[in-house]
Structure 1
Amino acid sequence: MCLLQKKNLLVLCTVALAFFTSCDSLFKENEEKEPLARVGDQYLYKEDIASLITEDMNAEDSTLFVTNYINNWASKQLLLSKSKINLPEDRLAEFDRLVSDYRADLYTRAYVEALVLQEQDTAITESQLRDYYEKQKENFKLSEKLVQLRFICLPGQFLDKDQVVTKMKDWETADKTYLDSIAVQFKKIHFNDSIWVSTSRVMEEIPPLNSTNEAEYLKKSQFFELQDSLEVYLGKVTDVLEINDTAPFEYIAPDIRQLILNRRRLDYIRRIETEIIDEATKKKEFEVYGKNN
């Protein structure tokens, strides 16, 4: 055998050895996947549930978890196999279509949402909010009573309650300054009586108020004093809006902002859908047959 043939044979042997070595390595990698259970030709591997075992599980907990997981997996696989055998073909075809549609929806929704997050303009000026409010004002009717009020929660044995009552009623600049100076003695305070608050929120903060007595105490210009076993609540209502009144701009502005953002989002999605169809049509990637048939 000539030297050239020997060299070619050596190269061939080396390549063959490398091929079988790589194949052997590949086969070993496949064999290294440790099966936990089998149903028919479906396998559940250890790596499939490895990420579900958390660090806070002890050995007993993890063993129980794995056992339950295997049993649940097996039950689903067996039921699935039985369903494919016993359900009518038309039902199976319908389910396959639904699964395919759901899979497509998951992918497309995730992609579209990513585009929206990347491109959507979230800047909205107060002028835009007010313009929307004025145009749609008749649609912003209250479904819950709103109040403007100030209130203080005092410990039950507070010594200067009468003076605090006087200050709360008079509400001059000096009164506010005084109450601010001793605010650390109060359990709760709400002095901003220019903002609108729902009655349900007020009742959360003032437990003696409830749905049966709120109409008596939450009236315009009403001063009230309520007490439970631990605390005394002093409040002054400055204004009230009833159910079906037009919601004030300041109260409804966050909702208007969300409405505008939702509209922009829908408009952007429609534009994406239109552009992607137009682009595919121009590139001959999308065609509709039989339009004129």
Structure 2
Amino acid sequence: MRSSYFLIILILTVFSCDWTIKSTHQDAIARVNSTFLTKDKIDAGLFDGLSVQDSLIQIQNIINDWASQQLLQDGALLNLEAQKQKEFETLVKDYKRDLLTSAYLEAMTKQNLDTIISNQELELAYKQNKELFYLKEDLIKLRYINHNLSMSNSNEIKRRFKRYNAEDRAILDTISLQFNSFFLNDSVWINSNQVISKIGPLQKGFNKVLLKKQNFIQLKDSLGLYLMQVKDVLEIGQQAPLAYVTPTLKQIIINKRKLKLVNKLKSEIVNDALRNKKFEIYE
């Protein structure tokens, strides 16, 4: 990396010496009218891993790109109407102002925003926004195991899987490394399409069996035996459960807090400026 850096400096030095018009800038490598491209504007990282020949080509491309942009800018300044240029300058100033104020408000918001959300707040937000949370996909609570057909303890696994008391859960979790795939947390809602994408036989026309509550399903294919126990189902058009939409609710609450905090900060800034005579309104 160090030798590459010195190589680039050497090449840039060669470029900077080959001029018809000499520059008063010792580190300049190109000029367009009265504007100079200097060595410190070239990112040495662009040449990592390049040969000398490729580095020369890369530098030439960089110089040519810079020159074309500079010539176009100079041409625009020379030929565009003064009013149009003034409009652009106003746009640039407005854009810079918006960037600065947005970044400042964002930094102040991060420092002062309360991100802790209680269960009571989630429940209230859920009640107030229920009309937003009708399902557009089927949800399901289930557990499943996929294991090789040749497993000697297949019957025991099936028995424990179906009964699924505390001891069964602990044992199945302990031997889960023997399974091809599994999902044992049947207390959470998941998109039925996610289940179908994980279980091969369900992609071959058996997916409808998923949408039956309290349903035990056993399927097999070349990858092994699939055991599925459906605990609960919610279909498209039904009310989405609170647990499933909690991430969205949290974002809604945080966004409302942000808006309220931003308005408060703006008001405090103005009032503080008025008190300190930094801001005055003339009648």
- The TM-score normalised by the length of structure 2 is 0.78
Counterpart residue type for residue 150 of structure 1: R
Return the alpha-carbon distance in structure 2 between the equivalents of residues 221 and 146 of structure 1: 14
Q: 1:215 aligns with which of 208, 221, 231?
A: 208
Q: Is residue 232 of structure 2 the alignment partner of residue 239 of structure 1?
A: yes
Whether the 8 Å contact between 2:47 and 2:58 is mirrored in structure 1 is no
Return the alpha-carbon distance in structure 2 between the equivalents of residues 276 and 134 of structure 1: 35
Whether the 8 Å contact between 1:147 and 1:238 is mirrored in structure 2 is yes
Partner of 2:5: none
Whether the 8 Å contact between 1:217 and 1:223 is mirrored in structure 2 is no
Whether the 8 Å contact between 1:120 and 1:264 is mirrored in structure 2 is yes
Partner of 2:32: 39
Report the CA distance between 1:250 and its aligned residue.
1.7
Partner of 2:104: 111
Residue segments in structure 2 that go unaligned for 5+ positions in a row: 1-22
Aligned Cα root-mean-square deviation (Å): 2.9
Partner of 1:265: 258
Partner of 1:206: 199
Counterpart residue type for residue 220 of structure 1: K
Return the alpha-carbon distance in structure 2 between the equivalents of residues 255 and 120 of structure 1: 18
Report the CA distance between 1:238 and its aligned residue.
0.8
Q: 1:148 aligns with which of 141, 156, 166?
A: 141
Q: 2:77 aligns with which of 57, 70, 84?
A: 84
Q: 2:94 aligns with which of 101, 109, 112?
A: 101
SS state of the match for residue 42, structure 2?
Answer: helix
Cα shift readout 1:159-218 (whole Å, capped 9, x = no counterpart): 443443343333344543443343231122211111111123323433443496533434
Deviates more, 1:202-211 or 1:64-73: 202-211
Return the alpha-carbon distance in structure 2 between the equivalents of residues 281 and 211 of structure 1: 71
Partner of 2:223: 230
Return the alpha-carbon distance in structure 2 between the equivalents of residues 45 and 120 of structure 1: 44
Partner of 1:6: none
Return the alpha-carbon distance in structure 2 between the equivalents of residues 78 and 211 of structure 1: 62
1:265–1:216 distance in 2 versus 1, CA, 3 Å = same
Name the % identity.
36
Deviates more, 1:150-159 or 1:37-46: 150-159
Whether the 8 Å contact between 1:33 and 1:46 is mirrored in structure 2 is no
1:68–1:197 distance in 2 versus 1, CA, 3 Å = same
SS state of the match for residue 224, structure 1?
Answer: strand
1:218–1:41 distance in 2 versus 1, CA, 3 Å = farther
Counterpart residue type for residue 79 of structure 1: L
Counterpart residue type for residue 217 of structure 1: L
Instruction: Summarize the alignment of residues 1-293 of structure 1 with structure 2, pairs less than 5 Å apart.
Output: 33-50=26-43, 52-53=45-46, 55-56=48-49, 59-210=52-203, 213-287=206-280
Report the CA distance between 1:53 and its aligned residue.
3.8
| Higher gyration radius (CA) | 1
SS state of the match for residue 142, structure 1?
Answer: coil
Cα shift readout 1:55-89 (whole Å, capped 9, x = no counterpart): 55554554443332222221211222223334444
1:51–1:105 distance in 2 versus 1, CA, 3 Å = farther
Return the alpha-carbon distance in structure 2 between the equivalents of residues 228 and 67 of structure 1: 60
Deviates more, 1:268-277 or 1:175-184: 175-184
Counterpart residue type for residue 112 of structure 1: L
Deviates more, 1:50-59 or 1:131-140: 50-59
